Chain A
């Protein structure tokens, strides 16, 4: 299947994949460090294991970023 992650086209084998598996394949260290937007909708973290990605889906992995002050 062909999907788009952070604006880049990606080809994956298989017809479908759940978000938690996709995060693993894409080497996201922890599912808790990203917010995932699937076709414009934010997916709750509790649903990462039950939400499937299919052909032509558009995903954004939005990373938490702190910064600024040195605490």
Chain B
């Protein structure tokens, strides 16, 4: 058991008060390593809440720089950060909130060649990317490396998320199978998104991360949580691991990452 400093006891007092978290849970958070893939609309709230919560090591992977059009929803980036690498901008804000943590930046595209090596260092991955090849790549790499992750998607007024614990629950590919052809599904940059939707979905992903680390409550495993912010209807759709899943099924077709996801490196 670590000795909490007085500052730590005060900083994390609202966690420590929670019966389900307590000092033990806070210690787990301080020892945890979480990787955020994408420091955009979803990664922004996730990074702020995980830093504030005292997740000891937070990795952030993104190859983009901050653009003016990001600021409507990517709340970790400020006007003065335009042109700065998103990983650096996110790191500065996380450390400004909580100097107690370590932030590792990966300013790179995650590809079939590098993703397994990068995610291996982490206990949990938060997927907040905009393109489907990347979403499938992260799923496949996490299944292969046995690393739990949270999937997040948003579009217009809608959001969806599921938590995948490889070996225990269905994966993203069990339900979604293969990336849709380019341009069939509009992206936020084509169809738009209400800024606060990113916050709604991202904070759900952050809560799932904290629940996973502290082993609290029931995760969104085998469940797709969807919401429509226009009606504020939330639904939990039960999912099942599928025997014919191409990666976690009985006879997986995908045994190497390159097989399925060549496209992602070129983006």
Contacts and interface: CB of A to CB of B under 8 A. Distances in A.
Contact of A67 (B69, B70, B174, B201): B201
Contacts of A70: 40-41, 64, 67, 69-70, 74, 130, 188-189
B185 A69 contact: no
Contact of B132 (A41, A63, A64): A64
Contacts of B43: 68-69
Interface string B29-55: 000000000111111000000000000
A51 interface: no
B180 interface: yes
A35 B160 CA distance: 13
Question: How many B residues touch the partner, as a band?
Answer: 35 or more
A40 interface: yes
Interface string A29-71: 0101101010011101100000000000000101111111111
B28 to A, nearest CB: 26
Given A32-B181, A64-B176, A69 B242 contact: no
A68 B224 contact: no
Contact of B129 (A6, A45, A62, A69): A69
A66 B175 contact: no
Contacts of B174: 42
A14 interface: no
Pick from B43, B180, B193 the residue with the most CB of A within 10 Å. B180
A41 B40 CA distance: 33
Nearest to B184: A32
B130 A65 contact: no
Nearest to A69: B40
B238 interface: yes
A66 B235 CA distance: 18
A65 B177 contact: no
A71 B267 contact: yes
Contact of B237 (A33, A60, A65, A66): A60
Nearest to A60: B237
List the 7 closest pairs (A to B, CB-CB), nearest first: A65-B153, A69-B40, A67-B154, A68-B128, A68-B42, A69-B38, A69-B130
27 contacts: A33-B185, A40-B238, A40-B240, A41-B242, A63-B160, A64-B180, A65-B153, A65-B158, A65-B185, A67-B152, A67-B153, A67-B154, A67-B155, A67-B193, A68-B40, A68-B43, A68-B152, A68-B153, A68-B154, A69-B38, A69-B39, A69-B41, A69-B43, A69-B129, A70-B189, A71-B130, A71-B187
